[in-house]
A and B are shown apart, each in its own frame.
Chain A
Amino acid sequence: MPVKSLAARKNDLSNPVKQLEILNNGIFKSGELPYFKDKVASTPTSELKPKKLEILQLNLGYMCNQTCSHCHVDAGPDRKEIMTVETMEQCLEVIRKTGAHTLDLTGGAPEMNPNFRWFVEEASKAGIQDFIVRSNLTIIRANKKYFDLPEFFKKHNVHVISSLPFYKREKTDRQRGKGVFDKSIEALKMLNSVGYGREGSNLKLDLVYNPSGAFLPTNQEALEKDFKKALKEDFDIDFNQLFAITNLPISRFLEYLIASENYEDYMYALVEAFNPSAVENVMCTNTLSVSWDGWLYDCDFNQMLGLKVASKVTHIKDYNEEVLQNRDIIISQHCYGCTAGAGSSCQGSVT
């Protein structure tokens, strides 16, 4: 697995334009596979338009303590892009007046933003119904200063969503780095011990599964059952839901697909698994993604591809929910990742 981000390695694929070139050409340009927009046009939905905004997702920065081989953010310790207090204040203004019921903080490791705690405290005052922090788990064990994160999350009634690619050490460590599995287990135990994920507790702890390779996730419920059984029996760990998320062919996962000569097969698999009913509920129809520097995107993936919203309003400082509501959603061939099988979103399956 890579030890540095594409950006630090000055890899061609760190440039979103290069990634889009790959996604728009090759087997799609030759007509071997249909473009996503044509595929969507053939469904009852016919085109992607925003519905009511439900989820505001903020990326607090690309810095992370891990360098996962599948990361679509190209995050890592070497990334210096971090949301400033000024942008955070602009976000807080929006959080106080938005109609969205869910606030979703992500990264990188959002906890590594030096103003993370202040921001969570301020944001939690806005009375958002569901306040999510996407924590990679190992950050809780990375440094003494993070050991009290479970207590901090509890204090602000944060809904923790954490990635754990598999309930066995080998596959987890291969995707996310040596030692990640053991640290993740320790962190899950810490979350459980303050009440997260335990029966009868209101503190929600969900896990995210994503395949550790060039294949699609299987049925979310079946996986959840396997995860729950294994984690309970082996480690006495409890959690609420498992979200099965498809890896989208961008950034470091795209690099892996190309290097392992799996790119074409993977795109075929995604297109073959295209599910018209997943199109109705893809997350770009109810989500807005805000980058560390305040720009607005239809989703986190479009953010990483540099595809800003097609609206008069493109920055959080000019935020206007009504104006944004009338935009067209920007799509490309990576979108097949969200419509495959049971569909995929930051909230798991969509059908």
Chain B
Amino acid sequence: MSKTYYDPADLRKFGNITEWNEELGKKFFDYYNQVFEAGALSAREKSLIALAVSHVVQCPYCIDAYTKDGLQRGIEKEEMMEAVHVGAAIKGGATLVHGVQMMNKYDKLSM
């Protein structure tokens, strides 16, 4: 067994998950591919959203995949970094907004 949990070479084996459950695997990849087709949002916009989300969910495979996808689409590094900050802002905000819950609880428990 490899000594690390993540191996970059595993990304290209992603499709193999279908081997152990063809029906669900196929459904997932059909859905996945359709999601990224241009619709009300352009494929380029979707790529940037995917990049931001990849960072928020901290998926190393997704970060590799959508950095490369962005490069292919001519997305520039400034745009990529801004997208990552959008993700970070939401994640940071999600932590901080719980501060209100803390304040509410504090006040409720205090005389």
Contact = CB atoms under 8 A, between A and B. Distances in A.
B73 interface: yes
B68 interface: yes
B12 A216 contact: no
A215 interface: yes
B71 A215 contact: yes
A217 interface: yes
Contacts of A222: 73
Contacts, number: 21
Interface string B58-95: 00000000001001111010000000000000000000
Nearest to B75: A218
Bin the interface of chain B by size: under 10
Contact of B74 (A218, A265, A272): A218
Interface in A164-221: 166, 168, 211, 213, 215-218
A223 interface: yes
A226 B74 contact: yes
Nearest to A341: B72
A268 interface: yes
Given A265-B12, A268-B12, A223 B68 contact: no
Contacts of A268: 12
B72 A215 contact: yes
A213 B74 contact: no
B73 A218 contact: yes
A333 B68 CA distance: 22
A157 B8 CA distance: 51
B12 to A, nearest CB: 5
Given A265-B12, A268-B12, A216 B72 contact: yes
Given A265-B12, A268-B12, A166 B72 contact: no
B12 A223 contact: no
A33 to B, nearest CB: 10
Contacts of A211: 71-72
A218 B72 CA distance: 5
A223 B71 CA distance: 12
B5 to A, nearest CB: 20
A168 B68 CA distance: 18
Interface of B: 8-9, 12, 68, 71-74, 76
21 contacts: A166-B74, A168-B76, A211-B71, A211-B72, A213-B71, A215-B68, A215-B71, A215-B72, A216-B72, A217-B72, A218-B72, A218-B73, A218-B74, A222-B73, A223-B74, A226-B74, A264-B9, A265-B8, A265-B12, A268-B12, A272-B12
Given A211-B72, A218-B73, A226-B74, 15 more contacts: A168-B76, A213-B71, A215-B68, A215-B71, A215-B72, A216-B72, A217-B72, A218-B72, A218-B74, A222-B73, A223-B74, A264-B9, A265-B8, A265-B12, A272-B12
